[in-house]
Structure 1
């Protein structure tokens, strides 16, 4: 039976098991050593802005090592440097990288469906060109803000085709590269990246290429399977906060990051998507999951603060869902958790 067709309790158990497996893999001595070697060879931090859409799972699609990429996720139009909350998270990331003597590569992304326009980003009315232009504006705002920064800050725009889970890398001169192209290889990929972004610092380019190659490999693996194109939404979980990097399976959860002062719009949107999935028979009607989570490092005070914020986020989200989709509220399994950054472990909180 397909995961999305299982009873809600089994789906929740599956998700919690995914978190446990992710933590175990992260702390496994051999894998930890391999990850440290990777970071030593490719130290540039990668920041990604992405929509809450559950079909958009770039860490999975780029075969990224655990914990390498940092994501800022919200409804597309709310991911803008004109919002101080979002801008402060971007600045924090860049400052942390600079403290380590590193520049920053920022992927500003939008998503679309290569086969059905109406299955694109609902936040932009499924207008892919509007989404693309908005991303170029965000990238330009970032570029202008940090043009005089001591370390290079390089934003670039990428589209993501949810049909085939492949990136479309945009260049500054209107050219683009579709990573689903079966003719691509490691050598040609480097040539293309240099052609699209000739001013991208070499160290950032060298650290970005393995992730691009990961997406080339991922797209090729999908072509070799008979999974079909995952066109429609099938999300059954609404995740609020951060610490959800253990969710590596696409089309499972709408992930809403804490990057907007108003949770109303993104949570309402997610609730409508999940409720519609039930109504359309894409997922069982027996229930959905609301999972809140906040990050913490080791420390009693920081842990207590994360616990408070996680529970508060769940309360706020549940109230919004009750107002938007009251029937869905009655079918919700609600869980609150905190996520240990050092151990990459999810810790459930008692009700």
Structure 2
């Protein structure tokens, strides 16, 4: 399996655009091969047998926020939902249907669901915070609490089947900040140098209403995050805490993109796709302007997953083609000069194997 280290992404982002795109597509092929391998399949089955809670994460499109990487969780375990600023409304029909289907599928298997509702911020420089909220951390956190309220209305306010957890992500350190009852907080940065075993006691105190099985399955993520944050202490992270994404992804099915700070990923989870696409283009343009990435081009990748051949795949192709055209139009209107550097690629993903098939591309 290719390296998922930050240094790998750092080296990649400095290369010419055609090499970056080739490397990313190669990564998708390697990911599919690994995902389908006997050892990876068995590892997922074993992990899910030991930690059966369904893990759903509502998060920003920001490429610096990569929870499998930051929690050292096997790929394919966490189901992400991404949008500008982590801004969601569970009343939006498509998003509500996806979430409900996921929760029902887990419940029918006897599994609970942990819904991590995230916001992100920078402790070092507020301007490195979330663009979707104008770097206003309080507003981002308040919105996360609003989503948690909606989740309670949708799935039950006792939180015994679906537990909505507001969770901060501090991008300077990659640390998780768990928000519990009555303002209680578990900040992973406070645990560096302390035994990971003590996290269980603190988590129970911070979230006393969390079901035992869900708490048990959250602990490996916190322990993995503690190990990750500890490993970063004392390292130079200037390139990792600043935006340096060079890919805009629109749609779903981007599991293979496990290099942090590489892509801005926008899911079709709200009525206004133009705003997050435009903001993503703003970030790419700023990255070029400030020399954080080469100005020779960026990749636009539209993707839709499908389960079966025939109509299911045909519908996925139409979705991806629409998303690609729509995104290109928005970028062209908002950043005409940037649009001339766009390298659009349209794809579908066979979800059972994670195989990405390109439909068309411009290099």
TM-score, normalised by the number of residues in structure 2:
0.92
* CA–CA separation in structure 1 for the residues paired with 2:355 and 2:113: 26
* CA–CA separation in structure 2 for the residues paired with 1:176 and 1:115: 19
TM-score, normalised by the number of residues in structure 1:
0.95
Deviation at 1:149, TM superposition (A): 8.7
For residue 341 of structure 1, the aligned residue among 330, 351, 359 is 351
* CA–CA separation in structure 2 for the residues paired with 1:245 and 1:303: 18
* CA–CA separation in structure 2 for the residues paired with 1:224 and 1:119: 20
Instruction: Figure out how many residues of one structure are paired with residues of the other and give that number.
Output: 351
Deviation at 1:145, TM superposition (A): 2.3
* CA–CA separation in structure 2 for the residues paired with 1:143 and 1:67: 26
| Corresponding residue SS for 2:119 | strand
* CA–CA separation in structure 2 for the residues paired with 1:236 and 1:268: 14
Query: Which segment is superposed worse, 271-280 or 178-187?
Result: 178-187
In structure 1, the partner of 2:328 is 318
Deviation at 1:83, TM superposition (A): 3.0
* CA–CA separation in structure 2 for the residues paired with 1:150 and 1:250: 32
Query: Which segment is superposed worse, 217-226 or 185-194?
Result: 217-226
In structure 2, the partner of 1:117 is 126
Deviation at 1:228, TM superposition (A): 4.6
In structure 1, the partner of 2:25 is 16
8 A Cα contact 2:249 2:263, kept in partner: yes
In structure 2, the partner of 1:83 is 92
* CA–CA separation in structure 1 for the residues paired with 2:352 and 2:241: 36
For residue 96 of structure 1, the aligned residue among 94, 101, 105 is 105
Deviation at 1:179, TM superposition (A): 1.4
8 A Cα contact 2:63 2:262, kept in partner: yes
| Corresponding residue SS for 2:181 | coil
8 A Cα contact 1:102 1:151, kept in partner: no
For residue 291 of structure 2, the aligned residue among 266, 269, 281 is 281
* CA–CA separation in structure 1 for the residues paired with 2:130 and 2:248: 17
Query: Which segment is superposed worse, 299-308 or 146-155?
Result: 146-155
Post-superposition Cα deviations, 1:296-338, rounded to whole Å, max 9, x if no partner, equal 1132221111111111110111001101111111111110111
Deviation at 1:78, TM superposition (A): 3.2
Query: Which segment is superposed worse, 11-20 or 74-83?
Result: 74-83
Query: Is 2:173 aligned against 1:135?
Result: no
* CA–CA separation in structure 2 for the residues paired with 1:162 and 1:335: 29
Q: Is the alpha carbon distance of 1:116 and 1:106 closer, same or farther for their aligned partners in structure 2, counting shifts above 3 Å? A: same
8 A Cα contact 1:143 1:155, kept in partner: yes
| Corresponding residue SS for 1:43 | coil
8 A Cα contact 1:239 1:256, kept in partner: yes
8 A Cα contact 2:71 2:221, kept in partner: yes
8 A Cα contact 2:28 2:355, kept in partner: yes
8 A Cα contact 1:164 1:229, kept in partner: no
Q: How does 1:238-277 map to 2 (within 5 A)?
A: 238-277=248-287
* CA–CA separation in structure 1 for the residues paired with 2:252 and 2:90: 20
In structure 2, the partner of 1:154 is 163
Query: Is 2:228 aligned against 1:218?
Result: yes
8 A Cα contact 1:101 1:151, kept in partner: no
| Corresponding residue SS for 1:350 | strand
* CA–CA separation in structure 2 for the residues paired with 1:229 and 1:3: 12
8 A Cα contact 1:176 1:196, kept in partner: yes
Which structure 1 segments of 5+ residues have no match?
none
* CA–CA separation in structure 2 for the residues paired with 1:290 and 1:72: 19
